[in-house]
Amino acid sequence: MTKVAIVTGGSRGIGAAISIALKTVGYSVAANYAGNDAAAAKFKAETGIPVYKWSVADYDSCAAGIKQVEADLGPVSVLVNNAGITRDAMFHKITREQWKEVIDTNLSGVFNMTHPLWSGMR
């Protein structure tokens, strides 16, 4: 049975490289992405790795996305929390909303993805 891996932010940049590396060593990979549909479609066409769209900043979306991946590919045994965003601004110019977006994605996203998988992975 092939092991299943989810890579958040898995269709571009470092995440794409991780997705491809995992596939190369025999994993069935699900590449998560949040917004760039064209890049995700191109990645899927070039690699054959399925892509799944949801925001790691939203717990319920993560739980639903994980459920879909497991229905399609099987139980997840590897999670790579790679998703992250930047909202570059000097501290005195960053807005509260920009700060919240970064924290919700870069920090809460790790919890939102790991928590629903924890019992099955441990």
**Predicted local confidence at residue 87, as pLDDT:** 86
pLDDT for residue 88 is more than 90: no
Domain count within the chain = 1
Q: Domain of 58? A: 4-83+110-121
Tokens linked to 45: 């066409």
Q: Are strands 28-33 and 51-53 parallel, antiparallel or unpaired?
A: parallel
| 102 lies in some domain | no
Q: Which residue has the tokens 């319920």?
A: 60
Residue 100 lies in a domain: no
Domain-embedded: residue 24: yes
Q: Is residue 93 part of a domain?
A: no
**Which pLDDT score is estimated for 91?**
87
On whether residue 96 sits in a domain, the answer given is: no
CATH number at residue 57: 3.40.50.720
What is the mean pLDDT of the segment spanning 10-37?
Answer: 97
Model confidence pLDDT, tens digit, residues 28-57: 999 999 999 999 999 999 999 999 999 999
**Does 94 map to a domain?**
no
Residue 95 within a domain: no
The CB-side HSE value for 54 (13 A sphere, CA atoms) comes to: 21
